[in-house]
Chain A
Amino acid sequence: MAKLIGGLGTSHVPSIAMAIDKGLRDTPDWKPFFDGYVPGQDWVRENRPDVAVVIFNDHGNSFFLDRVPTFAVGCAEEYRPADEGWGPRPIPPFKGAVDLSWHLIDTLVENRFDPMICQEIDVDHGIQVPMELFFGRPEAWPVRVVPIFVNVIQYPIPLPSRCYEMGRVLRRAIESFRGDERVVVIGTGGLSHQLQGARAGFVNPEADRAFLRDIAADPGRLAAMSREQYVETFGSEGAELMMWLVMRGAMNAEVEVRHSHYFVPASMTGAGMIVLENKPADAGRAAA
């Protein structure tokens, strides 16, 4: 059976991609940000995942407002980088983990989560940036991916508690997959930021640090918050943070924080990263 080896969380700010593209990694503005990801990259290299299940949102690139899925799962052979207006970025396309995708879709539906099923879809910075942050800029990605899209733009967006519950189902799905893949789940988005309205530029470093602490130690608190509380606490676009709850829901009740990093501001965003492993004592429980 496939094995869930860890849960990762990271922001997916497009300016990070631009900084990489323009070679700004080691400039004073960006170096402290990128340096914080080195332990995360080391962890990934040492733990050799085969598949990354990446939870992210599309930003008006793959979906327009004519059809907005609340949850969508990709099951394509390949996902190309979307043209977000600047032309597709010079990164390799992502290879899909097709069989695992279908198994996740089957399991989700059997457990009353009914996602849109996408066999041909481009993917935007929501998945690109997290992949680059953890895997660098290789010739070809060292992992295959399952992209899972969550609508956090067009209201009504889903409930945070629903995202958390979906994570639990993903866990069961991954661990019931007939294969020997080593799987990481990556929750992306946030942390605090607001890009529109008179409160644009709102960041909340204190709440961001508390989030990074509690996503490991007290995810129940974060899952119980309302959408309005996310928006008020983390800014209108900070509501993306509920996508980390999908990742966290896939992990054991007790987790170990292997690495965590916070930097503000990346462009207009409080940027954070976390690497979680299930506590060994607890390892058999969720799988049982």
Chain B
Amino acid sequence: MSSPAPIVWPSSRATGAGALQIVLLPGLLCDESVFAHQVEALRPYANAVVANLSEDDSITGMAERALALRDGPLVVIGHSMGARAALEMARLAPQRVARLVLMDTGAHPRREGEEVKRQALIDLADREGMAALAERWLPPMVHEDRVGDDALMAPLRAMVMRATPAQHARQIRALLNRPDARPLLPAIECPTLVMVGRQDRWSPLAQHEEIAAAIPDATLVVIEDSGHMAPVEQPRAVTDALLAWLGFPDAKDRPMDAPDRIPDIPLFDRQRQLKGYRLNKMAMGLAKPENRDAFRADEGAYLDRFGLTPEEKRAVMARDWREMVRLGGNVFFILKISAIDPARMTEIGAHQAGMDHDAFLRERLGKR
């Protein structure tokens, strides 16, 4: 899949001012839990927020609420009812919607007889409560092979039970009075990703083919082995498609300077250990006395034996601990350098924190 031209944002920061802003809109009776996998994966690249659509009784109201969550240009990602609200955002504020993602949804207005079926579910929820509604409503939403899969269904049931009959009635009112979004589709100028589960029985693939055909710059992605709840049925496939289309590199290709998944914590993951392999191997070598002698005798020559890049060599020779860690060095390996050229652990820590040693001991470790 090719991604659209890169977005030029005010800055590439993932958090704080100038960060790329992503708003996600969940479907009927859904909340932020359906996007958990995607939000986690987007964290290094963007400031992602999931809109709460539980209070609105119109699609326009939902769109306005989502637009008010953040300023400036947005990547808007909607699922099911949330995608209808995302389309409404594109109608209300086309200049703010820089990228649009529509998942398992439709653009058509209310269909004949739809009101009766929906009212039956409203009555069921009123009469027997949310557990009964979940029992009736959820199974057709997922791939038929997964209906008995408790690992998938239990969290979905719990989510439905977090909602109330009143919320359900409000959102159904919004859906029944939804605008016909079909005339809008040819006017959408931003790159758009249309995604659907191959086995979506609620909003089928054909419906998404029509939507993708009507939007000038649209890409269609089919998620295999998934029903309507694609973000939770196949979270990894949805996330991978999303990251690829947004032009965010896979973790293994991510630049070393990309922000950490958990801020300020350089987890020693695949990409880091690959990047730091030579550096760590060099340091591991110092567990042998003959290598320590070689290091002492001619440090540059010892480093060359391990094929260190000039950048890595510079960091080691300058005892630049922060830089060594940035380059993929892991403290347990590079610490062996301090056996030859003594440095205390707290000094190595202070250096990485960018603090004076005394201030580090005082402020971080609470000493005296």
Interface residues, chain A, with chain B CB atoms under 8 Å away? 14-15, 59-61, 64-65, 82-87, 153-155, 194-203, 205, 228, 231-232, 235-236, 264-265, 267-268
B264 shortest CB reach to chain A, Å: 4
Chain A positions within 8 Å of B260 at CB level: 197
Residue of A nearest to B274 (CB): A65
The residues of A that contact B124 with a CB separation of less than 8 Å are none
What residues of B have a CB within 8 angstroms of the CB of A83 in the complex? 287-289
- Interchain CB contact under 8 A, B287 and A85: yes
Q: Is the CB of B349 within 8 A of A155?
A: no
- Does A201 lie within 8 Å of B365, measured CB to CB? yes
Residues of B within 8 A of A87 (CB): 289
* Most interface-central of B268, B292, B350, B360 (chain A CB within 10 A): B268
Q: Which of A59, A201, A228, A231 has the most CB of B within 10 A?
A: A201
Q: Which of B13-38 contact A (CB under 8 A)?
A: none
Q: A65-B280, A154-B268, A194-B265 are in contact. Are A200 and B352 (CB under 8 A)?
A: yes
In the complex, are the beta carbons of A200 and B280 less than 8 A apart? no
CA distance A198 to B364 in the complex (A): 11
- Can you list 29 pairs linking A and B with CB atoms under 8 Å apart? A60-B284, A60-B333, A61-B287, A61-B332, A64-B280, A65-B280, A83-B287, A153-B332, A195-B348, A197-B260, A197-B266, A198-B353, A198-B354, A199-B263, A199-B265, A200-B350, A200-B353, A201-B346, A201-B353, A201-B355, A201-B364, A201-B365, A231-B262, A231-B267, A232-B265, A235-B265, A264-B366, A265-B367, A268-B365
Distance A268 CA – B269 CA, assembled complex (angstroms): 23
Least Cβ–Cβ distance between A187 and chain B, in angstroms: 19
B267 touches which of A205, A236, A268 (Cβ 8 Å): A236
Bound-state Cα–Cα, A99 to B284, Å: 32
A3 to B228: give the CA distance in the assembly, Å.
54
Q: Assuming A228-B262, A232-B265, what are 6 further A-B pairs, CB within 8 angstroms?
A: A60-B284, A60-B330, A64-B280, A155-B269, A196-B352, A236-B265
Q: Please, how many angstroms separate the alpha-carbon atoms of A87 and B287 in the complex?
A: 8
Chain B residues within 8 Å of A84, by CB: 287, 336, 339
A199 touches B264 (CB 8 A): yes
* Contact B287–A232 (Cβ < 8 Å): no
Interface centre among B339, B355, B365 (most CB of A within 10 A): B365
Return chain A residues, CB-CB under 8 Å to B264: 197-199
Are A60 and B280 touching (Cβ within 8 A)?
yes
Least Cβ–Cβ distance between A22 and chain B, in angstroms: 13
A60 to chain B: closest residue by CB: B332
A229 to chain B: closest residue by CB: B262
